[in-house]
Amino acid sequence: MSKPLVLVLCTGNSCRSHLAEAILQRAVGDLIEVASAGSKPAGFVHPMALEVLREIGIDASAHRSKHLSEFLLVPVTTVITVCGNADQVCPMFPGQINRHHWGFKDPAHATGTPEEIRNEFRRVRDEIRLVFEAYAAGLKEGSVRAK
């Protein structure tokens, strides 16, 4: 039996969804599979997202920007949208049991000096980390009780 899949969606799949995917996968270990996709993928993962993940010890350099259609025939247990646009266009996936929407400001739209922009990426990363690590703790606790 395969592990449950949690799919994190955002419009561009270049920043917030990759931050959430990487943070959740690290926090939950091998209990579940985590992937991310977008309704209108940008075609790249934002370099600053990769940089701020490296700062907390996560290497997401193998991540790629994907369209949500890649997952339409895959059993998805949980869909989590991290931006309002993705929440509005999110389809139902085969096997989908849960759906959550936790919106975060897009740091890719930050303006200012390079350091101000980097700090905005860090701020959003830390918000995502707080939410997704708490979610992972709940999944782990539920798994322990189920055994």
Q: What is the pLDDT of residue 70?
A: 93
Per the CB < 8 A criterion, the answer to whether 67 and 91 are in contact is no
Write down the architecture of domain 5-140 according to CATH. 3-Layer(aba) Sandwich (3.40)
| Phi, psi of 81, deg, nearest 5 | -95, 140
Give the integer Cα–Cα distance in Å for 25 and 110.
Answer: 26
Among this protein's residues, is 83 annotated catalytic? yes
The pair of three-digit structure tokens given for residue 56, joined into one six-digit string: 């907390």
DSSP result, 45-96: --HHHHHHHHHTT---TT----BGGGGTTS--SEEEE-SHHHHHHPPP-TT-
The DSSP 8-state label assigned to residue 70 in this structure reads G
| Phi/psi of residue 8, nearest 5 degrees | -100, 125
Does residue 90 have an active-site annotation?
A: yes
- Every domain of the chain and the residues it spans: 5-140
Catalytic residue among 9, 76, 90, 124: 90
Catalytic residue chosen out of the listed positions 34, 83, 131, 139: 83
Mean pLDDT by runs of 10 across the 147 residues of the chain is 88 95 96 94 96 98 95 90 69 72 93 97 98 94 65
Of 1, 55, 11, 73, which is closest to residue 36 (Cα–Cα)? 11
19: exposed, middle or buried (Cβ count in 10 Å: 0-12, 13-18, 19+): buried
Q: Which two tokens stand for residue 116?
A: 């101000």
Q: Which of 9, 10, 80, 131 is catalytic?
A: 10
The residues facing 37 across adjacent strands are 9
Strands 78-81 and 33-38, bridge-based pairing: unpaired
